[in-house]
Amino acid sequence: MHNLNNHISSLREDFTKGTLSKDDVNKLPHLQFELWIQQAIDAKVIEPQAFNIATVGLNNKPSNRIVYLRGFTENKFYFYTNFNSHKSMDIEQNSQVSACFFYPELERQIRIEGTVQKANDELSDTYFNNRPRQSQIGAWSSPQSKKIANRVELDHLITKTEKQFENKTINRPPFWGGYTINATYYEFWQGRKSRLHDRICYELKNEQWDIYRLAP
Ligand SMILES: Cc1cc2nc3c(=O)[nH]c(=O)nc-3n(C[C@H](O)[C@H](O)[C@H](O)COP(=O)(O)O)c2cc1C
């Protein structure tokens, strides 16, 4: 443990791959996001669609986890989950969320904040219907975020669902679907030398995007 801690505390990266200024960025943050996620895809970043989402629940207790971005439009970001999960319980209490994408290969981070609401049924149905059958069965079977005794219990739940839907189309469970993050704040972070990183932010004020730089 001691050696490992020494090792961890000595790990250092100096970032040199790019720069970012207010003059470089698109005036519309969703277009800047589009550019960066496209560049992450082109750079073959592993899972560029994965992001961390933080929620705040009862007693102001935060929690966070990785989910997949499954689409975005103008300042709307979609992800899918179980509506009875820990994150969904949090969202029911407090619709404010904070999202973070990390692209180490590009020395970039994107932070997005806003409020979240359930996506419309049509969007959730379309996404669910296009999922592989085994994922559809998983969505019906797993009581996400609930305590279960062991793996066998989960296997039994899967078997039960498989029987229930044998030779049948699997519709979206009522307790599973999409959320839309409505972004009101973005930060695009580009790593620079000696920790003097570039941070360009967008904040929605009176329906206009105010663009400014933050100190690293
Ligand atoms: C790469 C990756 C992608 C994930 N994508 C999703 C997702 O799209 N939806 C989801 O509900 N959970 C996803 N998970 C699992 C979540 O991180 C988490 O374990 C789960 O949603 C339960 O979280 P909760 O108990 O805080 O609600 C993913 C995990 C990883 C590591």
Q: How far is the CA of 65 from the centre of ligand 1 (A)?
A: 6
61 ligand 1 Cβ < 6 A: no
Q: What's the confidence (pLDDT) of residue 177?
A: 98
Task: Choose the CATH number for 14-131+175-213 among 3.40.50.300, 2.30.110.10, 2.60.120.330, 3.40.50.1970.
Answer: 2.30.110.10
pLDDT, mean over the chain: 97
115 ligand 1 Cβ < 6 A: no
Ordered by start, the domain boundaries in the chain are: 14-131+175-213
pLDDT band, very low/low/confident/very high, at 86 (cuts 50, 70, 90): very high
Half-sphere exposure of 2 (CA within 13 A, CB side): 0
pTM reported for the whole predicted model: 0.96
Q: What's the confidence (pLDDT) of residue 84?
A: 98
Percent of the chain whose predicted confidence (pLDDT) is above 90: 98
- Dihedral angle over CA of 169, 157, 125, 63, nearest 10: -170
Q: Which residues neighbour 4 within 8 Å (Cβ) at sequence distance 6 or greater?
A: none
| β-bridge mates for residue 153, sequence order | none
Atom of ligand 1 nearest to the CA of 89: 27
Q: What is the mean pLDDT of residues 168-195?
A: 97
Q: What's the confidence (pLDDT) of residue 55?
A: 98
Query: Buried (b) or exposed (e) across 141-178, using 16+ Cβ within 10 A?
Result: bbebeeeeeeeeeeeebbeebeeeeeeeebebbeebbb
Mutate to test the pocket of ligand 1, among 46, 51, 67 (most ligand atoms within 8 A of CB): 67
Cα(116)–Cα(55) distance, rounded to whole angstroms? 10
Q: What's the confidence (pLDDT) of residue 18?
A: 96
Residues with catalytic annotation? 195
Q: Which residues neighbour 88 within 8 Å (Cβ) at sequence distance 6 or greater?
A: 81, 82, 179
Atom of ligand 1 nearest to the CA of 47: 1
85 ligand 1 Cβ < 6 A: yes
pLDDT band, very low/low/confident/very high, at 2 (cuts 50, 70, 90): confident
